[in-house]
Amino acid sequence: MLDKEIIAKNISELRKKRGLTLKEVGDKVGVAASTIQRYERAKIVDVKKPVLDSIAHALGASPRDIYEDGPELISNAIPADMSQMMRIPVVGRVAAGLACHAEENIEDYAYCSKDIIISGETYVYLRVVGDSMSPRLMEGDLVLVRCQNMVDSGDYAVVLIDNEDGVVKKLYFGKNYIELISENPYYPPRRFEDSEMERIRIYGKVIESRRRF
């Protein structure tokens, strides 16, 4: 159980040691200054660990320095520069009828570099489930998806089949067919021909993947 009082004291002390304002920390984390203030006053009802991790990162500290009593700031630590990073929601599933940013489907947030983001487009991170795309993509990996309903042949994309949850596949388009390819040879290609092509809905193009160890 996270102790809100300890967290509040640690964030406040670390921020002041760094000479940062509430707004400066909030900008680095991607939240309002008032949110940081509520954390410092132990007024947050639902303490979110991903936000605490981001606050620690912005303050040049480790998460343990936030959670545990008596933080020790590394003498030569430099607060993270988040100005070139974009905060992207992480979804555990892509389901028919859910928008890219459906609140009930967001389980976390992650950051990616702004240089791969196209202004005006919508992005999510999707957590990979299953082994059909291994070894290229493993269960638990995050894939950055640009929400769009068209991709080129040979692209990796998130697709929905018969309005079921979205899956990551490599797509090939023929004159009268769409073929979904898995990286794992255990899973054979799936071809949808003619009217069957209507069973496929493209949710977005996979831009990059990341893996935690």
Catalytic residue among 28, 54, 132, 170: 132
Tell me the C-alpha distance between 102 and 115, whole Å: 25
Strand, helix or coil for residue 160: strand
Q: Pick the closest to residue 117 from 85, 156, 93, 158 (CA basis).
A: 85
Strand, helix or coil for residue 207: strand
Q: Pick the closest to residue 72 from 81, 62, 82 (CA basis).
A: 62
Is position 169 annotated as part of the catalytic site? yes
Catalytic residue among 169, 170, 182, 205: 169
DSSP 191: E
Q: Pick the closest to residue 168 from 94, 105, 118, 116 (CA basis).
A: 94
Catalytic positions, please?
Answer: 132, 169
